[in-house]
Structure 1
Amino acid sequence: MSLSFPGESPEYRAARDSLLEREVALRRELEAIAEQRRDLPPGGLVPEDYVLQSDNGDVRLSDLFSPGNDTLVVYHYMFPRDPTDDRPGPASGESAQLTLQQGPCPSCTALLDQLDGAMEHFSPHADFAVVARAPIEHVLTFAAERGWRRLRLFSCAGTTFSRDYHGEETDGSPRPMLNVFHRGDDGIRHFWGSELLYEPAEPGQDPRHVGTIEPVWNLFDLTPHGRGPDWDEQLSYCHE
């Protein structure tokens, strides 16, 4: 089936149909990758029931699984941010009192802004948790200032959780890893991690390790100018 739109030229339609063939192939490949991911053999058992901090005190990793859910997705929030990140920090509120390097990563924050609204649809089927190395008080204060309502937030300060699951470099620098865990009869196992983060990116591209769940970047890809070479996520934007 070939569509057409008002006023388009034959050259446009030919080019668009050629692109559509590649889009169909990409859809097929994404489905095949998802199936291959689901068919992974059991991952490694989680070595300990890590103790995290929440708004209600200490909780264990196993406590993050809701009754009836056997899957937990964990995003390692770069809070504190990467030491080389010099983008502006929070401009107001208590979080503005943090030093730049104590504060949150703008890119991670942009992703979580987008995922906060998705949680109402996702959480009945699987659990999602945001884990940062910052003190839980810093995380909760910034979340309130940001207006997040549905994300579950935790601190892994004082544990090796982020380092064990590659949300932290050996030198202590944070990394925005996404990990998925599955709980079965024999315990909690690691199912999948966004290891693409650690693979060399193509020239001029970022790792795109969680690219399929980033609405803003995917929207840019649909526009004439694309992602653009000079734009990056910020905690706030000035519109003239």
Structure 2
Amino acid sequence: MTSSVLKPAAELASTNTRRFPNESAEYRRARQALLVEEIELRRHIERVAELRRALPPGGEVTKAYAFGGEAGAASLADLFGSKSTLIIYSYMFGPQREKPCPMCTSFMGTWEEKLPDIAQRVSLVFVARSPIARLIEAKKARGWTRHRIYSDPSGDYTRDYVSRDDSDLPGYNVFTRQDSTIRHFWAGEMGAGTMDPGQDPRGAPDMDPLWTLLDTTREGRGADWYPKLSY
């Protein structure tokens, strides 16, 4: 996208003819001003996505990581399947946890019905530090049938790509494979050190539709509510 050829956001917003019953002139003025910002936000999201896609080659993966899956042992290369791109979401369910993290579980539950679509383009797997039998039990408890889950029994992968000290933290990593070479492409690097005042650590754009949806409401995300494993 070349910004020099784009029409000003205000010009695009001026073409909006949407109106709703009984809205006030004050509301419409504010909504039109917000629409300008929404157009600019869309453009910024696309600029960031372009910068991400244009990253130079990441570090080559030279270590032989070993995972435990529902069908047995697997290498990092195995997780790609037939795809050239692999996404690994590391969720918080280490051996010290009695139950999986509610936030990770909520995020993962989002994808159950979308995984067939995602699988048309890339490989997406979920990895945690607990033994695979424990992960399978938790998966069944949620009623998930499409999630490809793996254990990182040694913690080698987790220490290299999620937490150096093997802390129970979430992680989102993307890998690419060209011929027989696997490289790290991108990871979410926003966290506690990059958050703004009054916000929980989160990335941008937010990949969890729960929070994106709540952002469209008057109440917003709130400051004292988080998903639970059951209600």
> Structure 1-normalised TM-score?
0.86
Does residue 139 (structure 1) correspond to residue 154 (structure 2)? The answer is: no
Q: How far off its partner does 1:22 sit?
A: 0.5
Does residue 168 (structure 1) correspond to residue 174 (structure 2)? The answer is: no
Q: How far off its partner does 1:186 sit?
A: 5.2
User: Which structure carries more relative contact order (alpha carbon 8 Å, separation 6+)?
Assistant: 1
Name the SS of the counterpart of 1:191 in structure 2: strand
Does residue 34 (structure 1) correspond to residue 34 (structure 2)? The answer is: no
Shift in CA distance, 175/211, structure 1 to aligned 2, threshold 3 Å: farther
> How does 1:93-108 map onto structure 2 within 5 Å?
101-108=97-104
- After superposing on structure 2, the runs of 4+ consecutive aligned residues of structure 1 that deviate more than 3 Å are none
Tell me the residue number matched to 2:5: none
Does residue 225 (structure 1) correspond to residue 211 (structure 2)? The answer is: no
Name the SS of the counterpart of 2:103 in structure 1: helix
Structure 1's unaligned 5+ residue stretches are: 82-98
Name the SS of the counterpart of 2:125 in structure 1: strand
Does residue 110 (structure 1) correspond to residue 125 (structure 2)? The answer is: no
| Percent of pairs with identical residues | 41
Name the SS of the counterpart of 2:206 in structure 1: helix
CA distance in structure 1 between the aligned counterparts of 2:145 and 2:172, rounded to whole angstroms: 21
- Are the equivalent residues in 1 in contact too, given 2:85–2:174 (CA < 8 A)? yes
CA distance in structure 1 between the aligned counterparts of 2:215 and 2:194, rounded to whole angstroms: 21
Tell me the residue number matched to 2:88: 74
CA distance in structure 2 between the aligned counterparts of 1:210 and 1:174, rounded to whole angstroms: 22
Tell me the residue number matched to 2:9: none
- Are the equivalent residues in 2 in contact too, given 1:169–1:175 (CA < 8 A)? no
CA distance in structure 1 between the aligned counterparts of 2:192 and 2:75, rounded to whole angstroms: 28
Measured against aligned partners, the alpha-carbon deviations of 1:97-117 in whole angstroms (never above 9, x if no partner) come to xx7x33211100000000222
- Are the equivalent residues in 2 in contact too, given 1:49–1:62 (CA < 8 A)? no
Tell me the residue number matched to 1:58: 73
Q: Which amino acid aligns with 1:70?
A: S
CA distance in structure 2 between the aligned counterparts of 1:209 and 1:73, rounded to whole angstroms: 16
**Residues matched between the structures, number:** 216
CA distance in structure 2 between the aligned counterparts of 1:177 and 1:161, rounded to whole angstroms: 11
> Structure 2-normalised TM-score?
0.89
